[in-house]
Amino acid sequence: MMRILRFIGHLTLILFFTVLTQIGGIIYLVVVILFRKSVAVRWIVFASIYLLSTFLIVPYLAPVFGREKIATGDGVVIHNFFTTIANRNYVVPKVNTLLREVTLDARKSYPTIEVHCLDGNFPFWDGFPLLPHLSHNDGKKLDISLLYTDDSGELTNTKPSRSGYGVFEKPLASEHNQNDVCKSKGYWQYDFPKYLTLGKNSDSLLFSVKANKKLIQSILNQRAISKVFIEPHLKMRMGLEHSKLRYHGCRAVRHDDHIHIQVK
């Protein structure tokens, strides 16, 4: 019985690390096979090999699969360290080019602005899902944080949540409430990211209509862009109309805590 329970436990961890990080499951499997006696040694070796792989090996293998790490600097930042340590910060080169151009353009109007990147894609294999996202599986997709002002009305690079997800810019009473529509149709997962905030940074931040409109217009002006997803009420609030600015559907999750971009 204990052998069966241990097997189930190991299998669960392999699946968990694979879903969360892509490479963690196979590393854990190898370590379990090689280090069967000491649990403490096993976890130390696993953590060491995983970190070594994540920071020193994977970045050099990913280009073989047409992907590279999100290029940070000059206003492009990874919002949460978990994104990096879980290997969820890989994109095709087109996305990095787009990020540089969009940030440069946005900084003409807002010199201190930062573009905060959330989940991108895993480093290897098209079609490998990056859960809980439905389409982040080919290096062409990236989530980006919205922009906010602080108590004084100044644009700030602080975001409402630590993860970048889950604190929504809810529709006003006069605006269309897509969340209510989707939830009424049984799509229970639509606002699930509210459980994934990892804590809040501030409750006083305000959605910046002007800065977000500028950012999204800059993204839409890029020839490489294929689609941008955002919640319908924010699209209307900002007065944006564009064939590439679309609604993602009830099967996904709400997009009034971030925007989703994808390149051709």
DSSP string spanning the chain?
A: -HHHHHHHHHHHHHHHHHHHHSSHHHHHHHHHHH--S-HHHHHHHHHHHHHHIIIIIHHHHGGGGT-EE---BTTEEES-HHHHHTT--EE-HHHHHHHHHHHHHHHHH-TT--EEE---B-SS-TT---TT-SS--SS-EEEEE--EE-TTS-EES--SBSSS-S---PPPTTS--HHHHHHHTT-GGGGGGGG--SSBS-S--EE-HHHHHHHHHHHHT-TTEEEEE--HHHHHHTT---TTEE---TTS---SSEEEEEE-
Whether residue 59 sits in one domain with residue 72: no
What does pLDDT average to over the chain? Answer: 95
Q: What is the pLDDT of residue 27?
A: 97
Residue 37, pLDDT score: 77
Final residue in a domain of this structure, among 46, 63, 80: 63
Residue 40 has which token pair? Answer: 């403490």
Of 63, 78, 103, which one is at a domain's C-terminal end? Answer: 63
Domain coverage including residue 208: 68-263
Residues 78 and 104 reside in one and the same domain: yes
- Give me the pLDDT at residue 26, please: 96
Q: Looking at residue 209, what is its pLDDT?
A: 97
Together in a domain, 126 and 203: yes
Nearest to 260 by CA among 227, 233, 217: 227
Last-in-domain residue among 63, 87, 114 = 63
Q: Are residues 139 and 172 in the same domain?
A: yes
Mean pLDDT of 7-31: 94
120 and 251 within one domain: yes
Whole-Å CA distances, 181 to 189, 191, 249, 250: 13, 12, 11, 9
Asked whether residue 229 carries a pLDDT value surpassing 90, the answer given is yes
For residue 262, pLDDT over 80 is answered with: yes
User: Domain holding 251: CATH number?
Assistant: 3.30.1380.10
| Contact indicator for 254, 191 with CB cutoff of 8 Å | yes
Q: Are residues 89 and 130 in the same domain?
A: yes
Q: Are residues 196 and 232 in the same domain?
A: yes
53 and 125 housed in the same domain: no
pLDDT of residue 124: 97
Q: Is the pLDDT of residue 238 over 80?
A: yes
**How do residues 144-197 score in pLDDT, each as one tens digit?**
999 999 988 899 999 999 999 999 999 999 999 999 999 999 999 999 999 999
* Residue 125 and residue 24 in one domain: no
CB under 8 Å to 176, separation ≥6 — which residues? Answer: 232, 233, 236
**The predicted structure's pLDDT at residue 35:** 86
Count of domains for the chain:
2
User: Are 32 and 58 within one domain?
Assistant: yes
Query: Is 80 exceeded by the pLDDT of residue 73?
Result: yes
106 and 58 share a domain?
Answer: no
Asked whether residue 107 falls in the same domain as residue 23, the answer is no
CB 159 within 8 A of CB 198: no
Q: Which of 72, 75, 73, 157 is nearest to 120 (CA)?
A: 72
